[in-house]
Chain A
Amino acid sequence: AQSVTQLGSHVSVSEGALVLLRCNYSSSVPPYLFWYVQYPNQGLQLLLKYTTGATLVKGINGFEAEFKKSETSFHLTKPSAHMSDAAEYFCAVSVTASGGSNYKLTFGKGTLLTVNP
């Protein structure tokens, strides 16, 4: 069974500082990995995803993540934080249903990012 662990339920950075949100996964098969962002009182928005190919994945709003199989990690980074980045971030791994491509997402518990002026 797949699982996701997000290290740090709350990360606080200064505006302009590096953002690093940690995610480790467990999967018995090659994983498909996702980062979603949730702004207050809103649904989930996809930031980026890793399926196959290049291990460094670029997403929206200047975020990127690197898939490291040896470390079973998929950490999210952004070189310079902006006030508008304040939100909750969820790492997720896909679970493939038997017999085909249909799948569900297993989420971590989330990391709340606050950005200080």
Chain B
Amino acid sequence: DAGVTQSPTHLIKTRGQQVTLRCSPKSGHDTVSWYQQALGQGPQFIFQYYEEEERQRGNFPDRFSGHQFPNYSSELNVNALLLGDSALYLCASSLRGISVGNTIYFGEGSWLTVV
């Protein structure tokens, strides 16, 4: 049973560029969330997708956008990159609608460096 998979694992971008990160949820999961983890900090919630729609959003600017596909996989897009966007981006998957407290599974993350 494959867990949450993310790509790419590492990438370097220049300020002002755009980046797309990809995530495939754990088998059977229908909800995907994205988190940003800056160096030395805990992960911070960016947004969550379910049924191909953004359902919840954290305190992140509109430069951060996403998409969920019919197969439940997801993309995170960041436009006009800033140096401060350098971080580990974690994808998490879960199953909606059963009960609160369902386990959220995380991928290995994508390391983004903005230079």
A interface list, Cβ under 8 A from B: 4, 32, 34, 36, 42-46, 49, 51-52, 90, 92, 94, 96-97, 100-110
CB neighbours (8 Å) of B45 from chain A are: 104-106
Q: Which 5 A-B pairs have the closest CB atoms?
A: A107-B42, A51-B101, A44-B106, A43-B108, A43-B106
Bound Cα distance A46, B31 (Å)? 17
Among B11-19, B50-58, B63-71, B72-80, the stretch that binds chain A is B50-58
Indicate the size class of the contact surface on chain B.
20 to 34
Nearest residue (CB) in B for A90 is: B42
Are B44 and A107 closer than 8 Å at their CB atoms?
Answer: yes
Smallest CB separation, B59 vs chain A (Å): 11
- In B7-55, the 8 Å CB interface with A consists of 31, 33, 35, 40-45, 48, 50, 55
Smallest CB separation, B66 vs chain A (Å): 14
Are B41 and A104 closer than 8 Å at their CB atoms?
Answer: no
B interface list, Cβ under 8 A from A: 4, 31, 33, 35, 40-45, 48, 50, 55-56, 58, 90, 92, 96-109
Bound Cα distance A101, B96 (Å)? 7
Bound Cα distance A96, B98 (Å)? 13
Nearest residue (CB) in B for A103 is: B100
Contact (A105, B97) CB under 8 Å given A43-B90, A97-B56: no
Nearest residue (CB) in B for A32 is: B101
Are B104 and A105 closer than 8 Å at their CB atoms?
Answer: yes
Smallest CB separation, B107 vs chain A (Å): 5
Nearest residue (CB) in B for A106 is: B45
Are A44 and B100 closer than 8 Å at their CB atoms?
Answer: no
Bound Cα distance A45, B108 (Å)? 9
